[in-house]
Amino acid sequence: MGIGVGADVVSSDGLTYTVGQTVAVREASVCVARGEVVAITGPSGSGKSTLLFLLAGVLSPDKGSVHLNGVDLGAVSDRARAGLRLRQCGFVMQFGDLIPELTLAENVELPLRLTGVSARKARATADGLLARLGLDGERNRTPSRVSGGQAQRAAIARALVHQPSVVFADEPTGALDSHSAAQSLSALLDLARAGGSALILVTHAAEVAATADRVLTMRDGVLQA
């Protein structure tokens, strides 16, 4: 697997993305170092989610480039890009997006199973992580049978279980009450920092941004200097 010479996990240059008449992201250049926690803040509609999905290679820019661990995401096939996302990235969305038919444990095992880890090893790893997040009693429940905060912690476990080099989180605590939000946020930061994963965290909560190593602000599609 090609790992670039630089220390950056993610770097982008001049990313521009237009939706209809709206320039959702304009000339965005960002570098995120190994293990770094970067918060992206800004008003609703300022382009935070679009930037996150461009950096993750989910959206393709109209202009500009993204490198993930030294690989130019615009220069590889869709299949290769999906493989890089699976192995090197984790995702946490606002509503968790756990698979409703699977138990919490099965959800957390999924990235491991998809990357060829044995069922036994995946189960042990997922169980360890769920226990660490205080979810041992919920491991065999489906997401609809647990609280929003518990489901979001399981989603965080799923995002980090395969020790990705970068986790992309889009308002991961935005749908939770303040107690559950604080618990989920500390789970996310603890697991990312313990595993050495970089974290790119979109949030409009100032207290969430305050936990980051660096804060970037977006306004009208432009990253503020």
Ligand X SMILES: Nc1ncnc2c1ncn2[C@@H]1O[C@H](COP(=O)(O)OP(=O)(O)O)[C@@H](O)[C@H]1O
Positions in the binding site for ligand X (CB under 6 A): 19, 22, 24, 42, 44-50
Q: Does 173 bind Mg ion (CB under 5 A)?
A: no
Largest CA distance in the chain: 51
**200 forms bridges with which residues in the sheet?**
38, 168
CB of 49 vs Mg ion, minimal distance in Å: 3
DSSP code, position 211: T
CB of 202 vs Mg ion, minimal distance in Å: 6
Site string for Mg ion, 33-52 (x = CB under 5 A): ----------------x---
Among ligand X, Mg ion, none, partner that 167 touches (CB below 5 to 8 angstroms by kind):
none
**Residue 134 half-sphere exposure, CB side, CA atoms within 13 Å?**
12
CB of 30 vs ligand X, minimal distance in Å: 14
Among ligand X, Mg ion, none, partner that 69 touches (CB below 5 to 8 angstroms by kind):
none
CB of 133 vs ligand X, minimal distance in Å: 27
- Angle, nearest 10°, between helix axes 119-132 and 104-114? 130
The CA distance from 150 to 180, in Å, is: 8
Residue 120 phi/psi, 5° resolution?
A: -65, -45
The contact set with Mg ion (CB under 5 A) reads: 49
